[in-house]
Structure 1
Amino acid sequence: MRIYITILMLGCMFLAFPQQQKTYFDSQIALHLKAYKTKSEIAMQNGDKEQAKFLFDSLFENHLKFSHIRDFSLNKVKGGTLKTSSIDKPFLLITKSSWEQIKKEEVDEINRMSKMYKGQIEIIILFWDSKDKAKQHSKNYNSNVTVTYIDERDNNANHIIKPFKHSFGAPACFFFSEEKQLLKIDKKFTISNADNRSDVAFNVIHENIKWMLFSDEPTNSGIITTLQ
């Protein structure tokens, strides 16, 4: 009798305190991106950069932050596929287009970061282009960086991964925890044309990555943890 009462009480507890349902990045993008883009375009047309930033921050904080990604596969330029479900540590997903000019300083900094945090984070470069063009760019990255590609002309691009391009374009950088939750977005992940001085350009990407890794503490360094 006591066993039945215990089971009943546990059942009531689960009903009273239901588990929080997961939200997914692609679903949140489908629900909220259109309204964000409409308002953002108006703000940019009015030259109101502060409002545009406010709109992006609101979109991220209210709808995208801590959303999960569904499992998907990426083609590796060296052959085979990378399944996100197989990644057991935090990872950066950096989207690129082969027609953009990728600065040497950026590549050097990504390579340096991949060595500095080897075993703590995975760095994945995703080119939205053909395998041949992605492979050509991949020669610039060291073995710690996984270079992948999606050729949308094949019409086989997974609908789950497409929002990463069609939401904020490329280049962009998404930082996920080991629990596959989105923690940061840098939607302009590049060295701008204004950063011509070598001493400035050398530090820009490193600071951007550290900002993403260390929760807005760009001077921090050491062990990376994203567990809440």
Structure 2
Amino acid sequence: MLHFYLKIMVVFLLSCAAVAQDDAHALFSYNIHKNIKTYIKEANAAYERGDDKLGKKLFDSLIHNSLIGTKFDNFSFHRINKRRLFLNKIKKPVYLLTYSSWCLTSNGEISALNKLAKKYGKNIQIVVVFWNRKEEIKKIASQFNDPIEVCYAHETYNKDDYLVSTLKHTLGIPTTFLIDEGMNLIDIRRGGINLGDKMSYDQSFSLNYERFYEGISPLITNEDGFKNKEGISK
């Protein structure tokens, strides 16, 4: 009888291990680290040849064939004067933007994001993460409205190394992640808008508003507010 129960226990433990392995393989972090080296090698070769079209095709292939549909990791980020923010504690879709202080922001960009956060904050959570130390982002963080969670992470900080290597050192800066309320990754968008030196504030605001609006749209569970878009005003 004891031998029988031992056999059952072994089968149970093996089943649990298989489930845990399947869960790990479903994670965004597993799939990005599994595929990123091949992508970087092939994309770099394409761009060195001047084949931008192939470079974009390779990026789209990585995103759509390997990453979309994965389960986004429960990463946590430092917040200024608050406890760490854990993604799985946010019970609504997340629009996660990653920046570094030296690449942000174009004129009107923060204002456009603030307006959208105020308008759709009940439906989604906007999270902005800077790959910087705390003292480097205090000033710029104060420009974001309260509905936006402004966070930071740096490889020299405790617990941030894997986070930085997974989100920053793979797809670059800036990158945006669209995550639904079940922590499923539904899209990744890279880059911003190259506005040039002569772009007025009004033009910049409008272009950035449209860009952010387009990104936020798929995350809204109740899309009624998107059927008849109101005019853009500052």
Q: TM-score, normalised by structure 1?
A: 0.80
Map Cα deviations across residues 137-162 of structure 1 (whole Å, 9 max, x no partner): 11110111111111322243152453
Q: Secondary structure, in 3 states, of the residue corresponding to 1:206?
A: helix
Equivalent in 39, 46, 70 of residue 49 of structure 2 = 46
Tell me the distance in 2 between the aligned counterparts of 1:221 and 1:172.
27
Letter in structure 1 aligned against 2:193: I
Tell me the distance in 2 between the aligned counterparts of 1:151 and 1:179.
27
Q: Secondary structure, in 3 states, of the residue corresponding to 2:211?
A: helix
Contact map agreement 1:134 1:148 (CA 8 A) in 2? no
Map Cα deviations across residues 44-69 of structure 1 (whole Å, 9 max, x no partner): 11211111111111111100001112
Structure 1 spans left out of the alignment, 5+ residues: 1-18
Contact map agreement 1:92 1:174 (CA 8 A) in 2? yes
Map Cα deviations across residues 158-196 of structure 1 (whole Å, 9 max, x no partner): 5245311011122111111001111121110x3314384
1:9 corresponds to which residue? Answer: none
Q: Which aligned runs of 4 or more in structure 1 are off by greater than 4 angstroms?
A: none
Q: Secondary structure, in 3 states, of the residue corresponding to 1:148?
A: strand
1:143 corresponds to which residue? Answer: 146
Contact map agreement 1:72 1:161 (CA 8 A) in 2? no
Tell me the distance in 2 between the aligned counterparts of 1:127 and 1:156.
15
In the TM superposition, what is the alpha-carbon distance from 1:81 to its structure 2 partner?
A: 1.2
1:68 corresponds to which residue? Answer: 71
Tell me the distance in 2 between the aligned counterparts of 1:160 and 1:76.
15
The verdict on how the C-alpha distance between 1:91 and 1:196 changes in structure 2, with shifts beyond 3 A counting, is farther
1:84 corresponds to which residue? Answer: 87
* Matched pairs, number: 200
In the TM superposition, what is the alpha-carbon distance from 1:223 to its structure 2 partner?
A: 5.9
Tell me the distance in 2 between the aligned counterparts of 1:160 and 1:197.
35
Q: Secondary structure, in 3 states, of the residue corresponding to 2:207?
A: helix
1:214 corresponds to which residue? Answer: 217
Q: 1:32 and 2:35 equivalent?
A: yes
Q: Secondary structure, in 3 states, of the residue corresponding to 1:156?
A: coil
Alpha carbon RMSD of aligned pairs, Å? 2.2
| Structure holding more helix per residue | 2
Q: Secondary structure, in 3 states, of the residue corresponding to 1:70?
A: coil
The verdict on how the C-alpha distance between 1:221 and 1:166 changes in structure 2, with shifts beyond 3 A counting, is farther
In the TM superposition, what is the alpha-carbon distance from 1:207 to its structure 2 partner?
A: 2.3
